[in-house]
Structures are given as C-alpha cells and as structure tokens.
Amino acid sequence: NNHLPKLKELKLSGEIHVNNIDVFCEKGVFDLESTRRILQAGKDIGLQINFHGDELHPMKSAELGAELGARAISHLEEVSDEGIMAMARAKCAAVLLPTTAYMLRLKQPQARKMLEEGVIVALGSDFNPNAYCFSMPMVMHLACVNMKMSMSEALAAATINAAYALGKSDTHGSIEIGKQGDLVVINSSRWEHLIYQFGGHEALIDYVIVKGKVIYQNERGGTMSSY
C-alpha cells in the first residue's frame, strides 16, 4: 500500500529504474500467502517476478512462482518434484547458487533433475556476506563438481540462461550480432580451462571486454599458457 505505489511513481518520473520484485519466501520471513500478495502487487505495476524460494525449508515457492508467471526463482535447495515440473512448464528459470550450498553446508540443489525435466537452469554467485565469492569460474566449477552439471551446461547457465533469468537474453548472454559485447578472452587452447582450473583465474583471463571495449588487460600479456 505504501512502497509499491511510490515505486511506480518514481519509475514513471524516471527517477529510478527497476525491473524485478523479490521476496524471501521462508519460515520466519515471508510466508507463502504474504509472498503471493507482494509478488502479485509488484506484477500489477509492471515488475518482473524474480524471488528467493525453497532454500532452507520446502515452502512450495516453485509452485507459486510458476502460478504467478515468475521469470526466475533463486536457491531451490528444498524444491519439490512438483515444483520442478511446474517451473519447467512455466519456463521459469531456476537460479542455482553453488557457493551458498557449499558455505552454509546445505543440501545441493537438484540441478540434474531440473535439467532432465526441462527447467532453464541459471547460475549465480549469491555474492553477499554469507557467500563472499567474486568468481563466476569458481561458481561454475562448484556446479560441475557438487551439482553434477557438465561444463557446457555450467557455461550456458552462467551466461545465456542467467541473462534469461533477468529478462535480458535478447540483448545479453551470448556472443551474437546485435547483442551487447560483453566477453572475456582467456589464455588457453580450450575454453573449458575457465571451469576446469580451480582458482588462479587472474593468470588465465587475458582480457575483459564490456560493451565492446577492453576494460581490463592482463599485464602478463599472454606469456603463460595452459596446456
């Protein structure tokens, strides 16, 4: 009644730009009915639903997200089989966070079952005080080791599927004509080294390019190479 109308007003005036609405659907935080009311109210003012669910307890967040037409749900360590199937049918992305499950010693998300059921799986770092990880290569590595994803699946999950989870896959997430030129150039004969290598990625990444411009160049200048 207060925040969302004000948010809509600020959006319309151009003072802020916001795309998504998030709720932490969890025991002791927002219950399922509160989550439904908040997300629906956000959807009603044109926000995309992209929320936290089924992390510590099974809350039927996935089923709710599919019902409301959510773009993505994050965490999902405790998602139900019915929730996975509902997300697949609704084309709702599952944003899995390997660092969180690792650092908090949680049950690993069911990445393989999600992929087999046709869920769009994305990966994120969950960068925050309890998952203090800057490194997407490390996130992909953990996804392969702990969640049994292939390297190709992990790469797609960290790029084009992550862009899909934000509603930006038409402009971001893959190297294609007409898309924003964001990429890294690595010093290796095989792209898989970006995931296979365990740490030390500053020695592997030669260039970081954002919007077609080089914003970082490794001072080493390509003198090392991976076998």
Q: How far is CA 20 from the centre of its chain?
A: 13
Global pTM reads 0.93
With cut-offs at 50, 70 and 90, classify the pLDDT of residue 227: very low
Query: Residue 175: inside a domain, yes or no?
Result: no
The answer on pLDDT for 225 being more than 60 is: no
Instruction: Say if residue 159 is in the same domain as residue 67.
Output: yes
Give the residue among 181, 170, 173 at the shortest CA–CA distance from 209: 181
With cut-offs at 50, 70 and 90, classify the pLDDT of residue 221: low
Look up the domain containing 189 and give its range.
181-226
Instruction: Say if residue 143 is in the same domain as residue 190.
Output: no
Mean pLDDT along residues 23-50: 97
Q: Find out whether 17 and 23 touch, Cβ atoms under 8 Å.
A: no
Mean pLDDT along residues 175-204: 93
The answer on pLDDT for 224 being more than 50 is: no
Residue 127's SS3 state is coil
What is each CA distance from 4 to 14, 17, 20, 121, 211, in whole angstroms?
15, 13, 12, 29, 32
Residue type, 222: G
Residue 162's SS3 state is helix
The answer on pLDDT for 106 being more than 60 is: yes
Any idea what the CATH number is for the domain that residue 69 is in? Answer: 3.20.20.140
Instruction: Say if residue 150 is in the same domain as residue 78.
Output: yes
